[in-house]
Amino acid sequence: MEKMDKRRILCVLQKYYLEDVSLERAAEEESVPLLAVIDYMMKNELPFVHEVEDVTEGIKKVDKLMEKVGMHGVLSLVKAEVEKAS
């Protein structure tokens, strides 16, 4: 999978975990095939949202995956702001 494809999928997943949208809707809004997102989730053991814990686990994992491809996930952005403020 190309780096750009991973980035697009990670954007879909971040939206899915943080916003009140379905996985299908998030994929559609980012023009990413739903099956590619599901495949990526399964390969990276990312949870499908059923409980609050799934959201927490998912966003933590997505943030780490985003860092691996040179992106800044929401958690790393918040951490940087907290460090800057202290």
Give per-residue pLDDT as tens, 27-57.
999 999 999 999 999 999 999 988 989 999 9
Residue 1: per-residue pLDDT: 66
> For 48-68, what is the mean pLDDT?
92
- Domain of 62 in residue numbering reads as 3-85
**pLDDT above 70: residue 77:** yes
Number of domains in the chain: 1
For 31, 84, 85, the CA distances from 65, given in Å and listed in that order, are 20, 23, 26
Distance CA 10, CA 81 (A): 22
How many other C-beta atoms are found inside a 10 Å radius of the C-beta of residue 56? 12
Tokens of 72: 């800044």
Q: Is 2 helix (H, G, I), strand (E, B) or coil?
A: coil
Q: With contact defined as beta carbons under 8 Å apart, do 73 and 62 qualify? A: yes
Residue 71: per-residue pLDDT: 92
